[in-house]
Structure 1
């Protein structure tokens, strides 16, 4: 006879069977039974964050780092809605993630009970699948489907609602489903031959790598293909670590503020190979680099989600394949004659190097570019995280990523992402230095997670670039409504004192001459350290000052 257990215990056994070792969340009464069941699963640590937005961001970053779904637990109503920002990030970043939500008891549903929300309606447009487990006997089925769905095709987030009485009630002791290892689509031999024929006729090819579902092995295969066939490779927004930035084929990031030379090469290319990405609004410079629906440039689009092929662009050749399977297949074929485009690749690489080193110095006593260069010199192999804001452009243009998943940044442009993402990075890789760049507005959205970093003594350097304004919005404001400032000025705390109040190292850089001394002291700290970098408001963007933008220069 089958023994009995509870829904919560059956759920935790299913998570354990899938290799879950880290859960992010904020405890809530609606899933107390799960918290109790976790006591018997010491292999799974529950990282209590100080806000559900921080928990969902951290879980999303964990999904990026591991390739397995990041796990987040939140309570019903306000807890779930607070977590929505991480779900949206996972959707647009194509990151595997599962959010478990404690739900009101089944007998209270459809009455707008305390904190009741219809999660299928609420999350339906930003999750791959939303469901509610009403019968504890179906927990293994639902959890198995959730893991498979989150990782299959184009990866993304899944939401499972868990009625409180289902979790605490009796359930049969069913076996947990085996760990999910979804199959991935692979190209047909005819696809590879078609691609080879098109590249064989090209003189100005360009590979643009991006999207989700990548791994360290996938990145290594890309590097091998680029080297073997001499192909130039750009990376989509915030996917710069998909190819070693020192690789002779790496030609820059196809993202916000794309280098004019690289944008011109995309327009001039006679064979674009879009590998894994979608070439959305940001990488395409507002859908201007490729015509819709039929691009002028011959376009080969490789994507693991069949629904993405032809969704925006009608490709010349559509290949339904995961990036890794495609790269394995193309490398199994004989090499192409890269001599046809050798000069094209060499000159594109030279343009990238000139663009990175030729940036103007920012006004004021501290140049954000010099801060990035100094940190890069001190800890070149760090995992770098950031949220959204103009400060991030210095990071994207000047940091050289040498290995896969040394960059954690939101392609959906979510402010506040960098701090929780740095928690996930430091927990997953305690042997590595983690550096979080944040603007003053960006940091204050999730800065309370500094308490989480201190609690776990995480090796994170937080750099808060403080110009006392919401810089990106101020830039647009000055462009469209010059000298009519409204709602973009900020009043900030003493960030170094704020850090010390939590028990972290706190330092300040007011002059570039003191930067290296302060940064070395921060990096030597036992645990998290925060350095406030006071930036002149004139240093509003990487290429133009506030005054120049206001004047329309």
Structure 2
């Protein structure tokens, strides 16, 4: 419906009111794929050109991943706009990732006209049924806006809900006829989440537990962290000389170069760190949900009552006590929890009994940085090359696959207080996440370098977003595609469970460098380790989107190193020797 003049002050199309409400919330970028169900919203973006932009993506899954990455980068809800059923179902993978990763996100879905509801109209879906909220659902809140005059109210609530407590995704369905209705409803002011501070009694009890410990360990993770909170965490850890381990794909919450850093607790955990988690007498879990990946399949910390003394600090009341009966639970927002912890001071002349324990934890981490060279393409050397040539505030992204293990193990992430998020990766284990996340990061923070590490199977799920990067002026963006002609993780498990009987895990791949050039990217191919550095230096010199295609034998990521590490970890869990 064209924009119509109105004699009522402030009256405009509801689609325009929605755009104004987004701008009021500080949104300047919407990711999506255009659809006829929300043309009024797109017209509103045109009306406010210069204040907000719509990034037209090539697939709704890529768009939702970009919005999720925006939520991780900014701490405010990323916004994704898609059309009804096909668009919504495609975008649901990003919704699930935001839910498991505790990332604030608002997904806006076009809906059939109100007078067509409940007739199975063209592309009709009841999103409250499909995406309904719950502790094992895909969204914190799902609603449909029937009244244009209430649209600003719904949007403000969506932004509140996405950020409140444990951050997460929210869904608003927008009937097409509602968006073309005239409304004079004013937009509501920018919302900020209320924060929960630990009580003084909780802090005193935690300090007493610390002073009585011999082998403490801090596990850091979850969503809602800020630059100030990460700096406060460092201060707290340094005051008490505590070893700090970051949970699965949250390695940028603590500087990996710090002498207190103990490594990452997730897939492929080093056996030494796994033993340290088991042998700790006090675990301070600051932010993580303590899910399957962090707990080694619920074996490093055994539910419901782990043998380690456990203090669980989390923003969501519903999470505390859900899996573990901790010795102490503290509901606190991650933006302020560490700020409260840094006020704790040990008694004068307190002798830290865990000094050697902390030093040994970091020494174990440093030893785990040494890899066995594998030729002709040594991925350990590739990651160390990135460490050496890229600036510390570089943003690294990845999806899912064995290739990501090299990045997690050998890259040293900088903490948030040294330039913002430096790790964008899905704890949900979603393939295809890393490349769209890299595109979003490049478009949102153009002054920083962004490096995506992707497997061959992973990249082809969302690689068409190369077109989006070029269309919207991405720069300083490098994608490294690790090509072993296989769904490597699946192949690895097949080799372990059914040796010599692989099926369905082999891939027939294109020439990735030629594909990238077809999109207008610069591209290089490397089959030997020595060829990577010249390609990388050329990418840094040109400052244009560049793809570097690495060719690896399938055995490199499915048996020689990864499989042996997983077998060793499995044996450790079972209490047997390798």
TM over 0.5: yes
Measured on the aligned residues, the alpha-carbon RMSD in Å equals: 1.6
Report the Cα offset of residue 429 of structure 1.
Answer: 1.2
Match of 2:537 in 1: 520
SS of structure 2 residue aligned to 1:369 = helix
Match of 2:3 in 1: none
Match of 2:5 in 1: none
Correspondence 1:146 to 2:158: yes
SS of structure 2 residue aligned to 1:231 = coil
* Post-superposition CA distance 1:469-506 (Å, at most 9, x none): 00000000110111011000000000000010011001
State which of 190, 198, 201 in structure 2 corresponds to 1:187.
Answer: 198
Superposition TM-score, scaled by structure 2 size: 0.93
SS of structure 1 residue aligned to 2:342 = helix
Counterpart CA distance in 2 for 1:315 and 1:121 is: 34
Between 1-10 and 95-104, the greater mean CA deviation after superposition: 1-10
Between 378-387 and 26-35, the greater mean CA deviation after superposition: 378-387
Correspondence 1:423 to 2:439: yes
Match of 1:346 in 2: 359
Report the Cα offset of residue 262 of structure 1.
Answer: 0.7
Match of 1:451 in 2: 467
SS of structure 2 residue aligned to 1:339 = coil
Given that 1:393 and 1:542 are in contact with CA atoms closer than 8 Å, whether structure 2 keeps it comes out as no
Match of 2:118 in 1: 110
Match of 1:478 in 2: 495
Match of 1:245 in 2: 256
State which of 49, 71, 75 in structure 2 corresponds to 1:67.
Answer: 75
Counterpart CA distance in 1 for 2:217 and 2:558 is: 28
Could you say if the C-alpha distance between residues 428 and 547 of structure 1 is closer, same or farther in structure 2, counting changes exceeding 3 Å? closer
Correspondence 1:271 to 2:282: yes
Report the Cα offset of residue 546 of structure 1.
Answer: 7.0
SS of structure 1 residue aligned to 2:554 = coil
Match of 1:162 in 2: 174
* Post-superposition CA distance 1:11-52 (Å, at most 9, x none): 111111101011100000000000001112221111111000
SS of structure 2 residue aligned to 1:492 = coil
Correspondence 1:504 to 2:498: no
Spell out the pairing of 1:313-332 with structure 2 (5 A cutoff).
313-332=324-343
Superposition TM-score, scaled by structure 1 size: 0.97
Between 154-163 and 397-406, the greater mean CA deviation after superposition: 397-406
Given that 1:205 and 1:269 are in contact with CA atoms closer than 8 Å, whether structure 2 keeps it comes out as yes
* Post-superposition CA distance 1:496-545 (Å, at most 9, x none): 00010011001000111222112111222342100100011110258637
Counterpart CA distance in 1 for 2:108 and 2:67 is: 11
State which of 297, 306, 309 in structure 2 corresponds to 1:295.
Answer: 306
SS of structure 2 residue aligned to 1:397 = helix
Report the Cα offset of residue 112 of structure 1.
Answer: 0.6
Counterpart CA distance in 1 for 2:440 and 2:244 is: 29
Counterpart CA distance in 2 for 1:241 and 1:545 is: 23
Counterpart CA distance in 2 for 1:58 and 1:190 is: 41
Match of 1:438 in 2: 454
SS of structure 1 residue aligned to 2:352 = helix
Report the Cα offset of residue 454 of structure 1.
Answer: 1.5
Match of 2:4 in 1: none
Could you say if the C-alpha distance between residues 542 and 178 of structure 1 is closer, same or farther in structure 2, counting changes exceeding 3 Å? farther
Correspondence 1:233 to 2:240: no
Given that 1:496 and 1:507 are in contact with CA atoms closer than 8 Å, whether structure 2 keeps it comes out as yes
Given that 1:387 and 1:442 are in contact with CA atoms closer than 8 Å, whether structure 2 keeps it comes out as yes
Counterpart CA distance in 1 for 2:300 and 2:345 is: 31
Task: Return 5+ residue gaps in structure 2 as ranges.
Answer: 1-7, 572-577
Report the Cα offset of residue 447 of structure 1.
Answer: 0.3
State which of 370, 377, 384 in structure 2 corresponds to 1:373.
Answer: 384
SS of structure 2 residue aligned to 1:306 = coil
Match of 2:426 in 1: 410
Aligned residues, how many?
549
SS of structure 2 residue aligned to 1:71 = strand
Correspondence 1:539 to 2:544: no
Counterpart CA distance in 2 for 1:324 and 1:128 is: 20
Match of 1:91 in 2: 99
Given that 1:150 and 1:157 are in contact with CA atoms closer than 8 Å, whether structure 2 keeps it comes out as yes
Report the Cα offset of residue 79 of structure 1.
Answer: 0.4
SS of structure 1 residue aligned to 2:354 = helix
SS of structure 2 residue aligned to 1:332 = coil
Between 332-341 and 219-228, the greater mean CA deviation after superposition: 332-341
Counterpart CA distance in 2 for 1:546 and 1:303 is: 34
Counterpart CA distance in 2 for 1:63 and 1:330 is: 26
Correspondence 1:130 to 2:138: no
